[in-house]
Amino acid sequence: MEEVKVLAVVGGSEITEKDVENLMAGLQPQQQAQFASEEGKARLLDELINQELFYLDAMDAELEKEELFKQEMEIARKTILKQMAMKNLLDSVKVGEEDAKEYFEAHADRFVEQETVHAKHILVKTKEEAEAVLAEIQGGVSFEDAAKEHSTCPSNERGGDLGTFPKGQMVPAFEEAAFNLEVGVVSEPVETSFGYHLIRVEDKTESKPQSFDAVKEQIMGQLLAMGQNQAYVEKTTELRSKYQFEKK
């Protein structure tokens, strides 16, 4: 059993190291950084002590007998009960691995790794410039050096490397050329709205089905969300028939 480290006692109530950690966890990341040191944690402990002291003072002043307190407590009671009822409903929805597997098999066409290419390019303004750069490459200049010297795309610093991408991310003319090129071959100038490109494909991956294990968690999460949404709609429909209400 984990030992509870008590850091302070205020009016008989213990403040533990866990209480300080919970207060820290509720802060924004930037605020957490400010209180990460021992000095910062000491300030958080002081804040918890102050809060307990305010509680004792409120009890002495019998604030719980005031009408405002009773109103706030009723609001809090209703909010908590709503949240509990909602939680009970959503927690009642269960999704198992068999459910996910059945969905996977029925919708196998949706779980496919897209075809991708890893490409580099050189972007210039005119077709004449592109043809001149292509001649340099054919004459022995490396594609990467030509990209660094001539390309107007920011990728020039990486030798024109655009990384790996699937279909749908590039403009149509560029995409069509890239996906139809053989690996290692430099394209003829390709015109797009950006200018003229020389493209070289470094690698290709073919489209292939994903395994169930690779998408199991994704499917279970999707089915759970769908099930919870259905349960919510059905429950609210039932409640609207059971209890009276009117919109004004």
In a domain, 72, yes or no: no
pLDDT of residue 57: 97
Q: Which residues of the chain have pLDDT under 70?
A: 1-2
202 and 222 part of one domain: no
99 and 219 part of one domain: yes
How many domains are there within the chain?
Answer: 3
pLDDT of residue 1: 59
In a domain, 8, yes or no: yes
103 and 214 part of one domain: yes
217 and 98 part of one domain: yes
Alpha carbon distance 200, 138 (integer Å): 13
Please report, for the domain that includes residue 181, its CATH number.
3.10.50.40
pLDDT of residue 4: 84
**pLDDT (tens digit per residue) in 129-143:** 999 999 999 999 999
1 and 18 part of one domain: yes
DSSP E strands in 83-192: the ranges are 112-113, 116-124, 161-166, 190-192
**pLDDT (tens digit per residue) in 187-225:** 999 999 999 999 999 999 999 999 999 999 999 999 999
In a domain, 81, yes or no: no
In three-state secondary structure terms, 193 is: coil
Q: Which domain holds residue 228?
A: 93-107+210-240
Q: Find out whether 119 and 200 touch, Cβ atoms under 8 Å.
A: yes
In a domain, 83, yes or no: no
202 and 225 part of one domain: no
233 and 183 part of one domain: no
Alpha carbon distance 246, 248 (integer Å): 6
Residue type, 53: L
100 and 119 part of one domain: no
In a domain, 53, yes or no: yes
In a domain, 129, yes or no: yes
- What are the counts of helices (DSSP H) followed by strands (DSSP E) for the chain? 9, 8
In a domain, 248, yes or no: no
Alpha carbon distance 204, 65 (integer Å): 73
**pLDDT (tens digit per residue) in 196-206:** 999 999 999 99
| Residues 212/218/222/227 CA torsion (nearest 10 deg) | 70
In a domain, 38, yes or no: yes
Nearest to 162 by CA among 202, 126, 130: 202
Alpha carbon distance 63, 70 (integer Å): 9
pLDDT of residue 184: 96
- DSSP characters over 27-41: S-HHHHHHT-SHHHH
